[in-house]
Structure 1
Amino acid sequence: MEREELLKSAISGDINAFQTLFAEFQNQLKSYLYRLLTDRDEVDDLTHDTFIKAFTKISTFRQDSSLKTWVFKIGTNLAYDHLRKLKRWRPDAQDRAADLAISSEEIRQVFWMVHDTSPAGAYEMKEHIDYCFTCISKTLPIENQVALILKNIYDFQVKEICLILEKTEGVIKHLLNDARNTMTDIFEHRCALINQNGVCHQCSHINEIFNPKQDQQEELMKLELVKASKKYNREQLFALRTLLVKAIDPLHAAGTDFHEEIMKCLRTAIGEKNDFFE
């Protein structure tokens, strides 16, 4: 069945046609929601809720945007309803997680178990940079975070983000500018790839646990960020960082399970959700 026919059937209430169209961007939607929610269980629930709500309202889809943009708007609104009940993360959230892990033998044992036994328990520097990007984006106001991730990581156009957030083009550009400036400022003071004071608190401890120093250096030198850090300014380095993040699916990467445990530790450390010891 041609795509136009599929869409026509979906709008008429054919759930199989809608499922076929939804499947085209379902993985990307889940990845996007994970970057907002940082909890795989909540992502699964919210993806399901997005599917149900979108199909229920499909007759109202006027095709003034792509179906993908329309569904992402529904998913974004559901995520927003969830996130506005929570406090924004502070820039030191990862430090607090590292301190908790250091003080808890139980947490360290879980890290080791996942690292040693899970097929997705690897520690790779580039994936940890992606993890850090997600964490630091959580320090932004929700609308800034959504605009930045949609534009820089998922390549949505400004006009599409206007539809998703129901804002004017000028407002979206302002949200994007503020988000990039804030993220760049935080990275400049935290990340070893652009900060000459050394690796951040969390990276240093994780590296010491899982990578010999020689391996650390070899891993770092594979990254374009390290090669470029001496010659590019901080805005250009931020652009390089987003290119790296775009290439990683946080739900299907080599270290997905390992980073899920770190994220649980972080949420416990900041008091958002005590799910690490459940």
Structure 2
Amino acid sequence: MEEEILKNALAGDINAFQTLFAGFQQQLKSYLYRLLTDRNDVDDLTHDTFIRAFDKLSTFNQDASLKTWVFKIATNLAYDHLRKQKRWPADAQDQGAKLAIGTPEISQSFRIVHQTSNAGAYEMREHIDFCFTCISKTLPIENQVALILKDMYDFQVREICLILDKTEGVVKHLLHDSRDTMTNIFDNRCALINKNGICDQCSQLNGIFNPKQNQQEERMKLELVKGSKKFDRSALFELRTMLVKAIDPLHSAGADLQDIIMRCTRTAIGDVNDFFDTQADKAGN
């Protein structure tokens, strides 16, 4: 059935291509959000990817799956967008927290989203996903792409080679380097797994948005916390990726809340000029 749909798409049937594209569109948008951290950019690039892919469909030689081929197009578009921006500092979340604390209007916007949005719940595991995205953006773009494709979306190394147009050896090096860098950052920052860690933002926010919840009980629900007592750094990183990959940052219970916190973080580091410069933010206030 899918082969017949692909045959029709290759013959120029845009509806057939739309059917195939829809099969992985949600995952594609989730992937782009982890790279871009902006919903509007995600929508724009998803649309551009669809148009570009359909226009170039005659060049699809089926050396890989259609999904891998489309992700390559999306990755190239995202790369063009991201290379204009600076890599994030490891303390981006600290800067975001400082901005929120010092700007009552921003803090209030968090509360409004939490109280009024259907996706405004606060769950600690979702903020750990947010944290993973922030830390991944400290990496060079190719490292970030390789890591997210492999550890978040289960692409094979050979598929990542096609997407990045790199050899297997290079991709494996990118993955090793990315995991090592992020493990070091988490090891020095995350108070959930290291009592000497300097960041406990996920627990602090849980205390703000879920004041009646027992903080220690919430912490102990996370395999990451349980594992911190018995696993080494590499195993803890794997636990973290397992937790994160189960979350869709665009459709989770707290997607709207985490998105507005992300915008605050981006504003704090200069990735966004003005926290309140879009209609979406103004409508939320």
TM superposition score normalised by structure 2: 0.95
Q: Residue by residue, what CA displacement relative to the aligned partner does 1:169-202 show, whole Å, maximum 9, x if unpaired?
A: 0000000000000010011011122111256153
**Higher alpha-carbon deviation: 189-198 or 236-245:** 189-198
**Higher alpha-carbon deviation: 199-208 or 19-28:** 199-208
List 4+ stretches of structure 1 deviating above 6 A: none
Q: Residue by residue, what CA displacement relative to the aligned partner does 1:88-109 show, whole Å, maximum 9, x if unpaired?
A: 0000100000000010000010
Q: In structure 1, what is the Cα distance between the partners aligned to 2:30 and 2:198? A: 27
Contact in 1 for aligned 2:95/2:265 (Cα 8 Å): yes
Q: Shift of residue 70 of structure 1?
A: 0.1
Structure 2 counterpart of 1:196: 195
Change (3 A) 1:177 1:116: same
Structure 2 counterpart of 1:252: 251
Structure 1 counterpart of 2:100: 101
Structure 2 counterpart of 1:68: 67
- Where do 1:109-188 residues align within 5 Å? 109-188=108-187
Contact in 2 for aligned 1:144/1:175 (Cα 8 Å): yes
Q: In structure 1, what is the Cα distance between the partners aligned to 2:200 and 2:192? A: 13
Q: In structure 2, what is the Cα distance between the partners aligned to 1:186 and 1:240? A: 15
Q: Residue by residue, what CA displacement relative to the aligned partner does 1:248-271 show, whole Å, maximum 9, x if unpaired?
A: 000000110001110110111001
Percent of matched pairs sharing the same residue: 75
Q: Residue by residue, what CA displacement relative to the aligned partner does 1:117-175 show, whole Å, maximum 9, x if unpaired?
A: 11100110000000100110000000000000000010000000000000000000000
Q: In structure 2, what is the Cα distance between the partners aligned to 1:258 and 1:19? A: 31
Contact in 1 for aligned 2:266/2:272 (Cα 8 Å): yes
Structure 2 counterpart of 1:29: 28
- Where do 1:251-270 residues align within 5 Å? 251-270=250-269
Q: Shift of residue 208 of structure 1?
A: 3.6
**Higher alpha-carbon deviation: 9-18 or 211-220:** 211-220
Check if 1:232 corresponds to 2:265: no
Q: In structure 1, what is the Cα distance between the partners aligned to 2:197 and 2:217? A: 16
Structure 1 counterpart of 2:81: 82
TM superposition score normalised by structure 1: 0.97
Contact in 2 for aligned 1:11/1:58 (Cα 8 Å): yes
Structure 1 counterpart of 2:221: 222
Aligned residues: 277
Contact in 1 for aligned 2:203/2:215 (Cα 8 Å): no
Q: Shift of residue 228 of structure 1?
A: 1.0
Contact in 2 for aligned 1:95/1:201 (Cα 8 Å): no
Q: In structure 2, what is the Cα distance between the partners aligned to 1:140 and 1:160? A: 20
Question: Once superposed, what is the RMSD of the aligned Cα atoms?
Answer: 1.2
Q: In structure 2, what is the Cα distance between the partners aligned to 1:113 and 1:37? A: 24
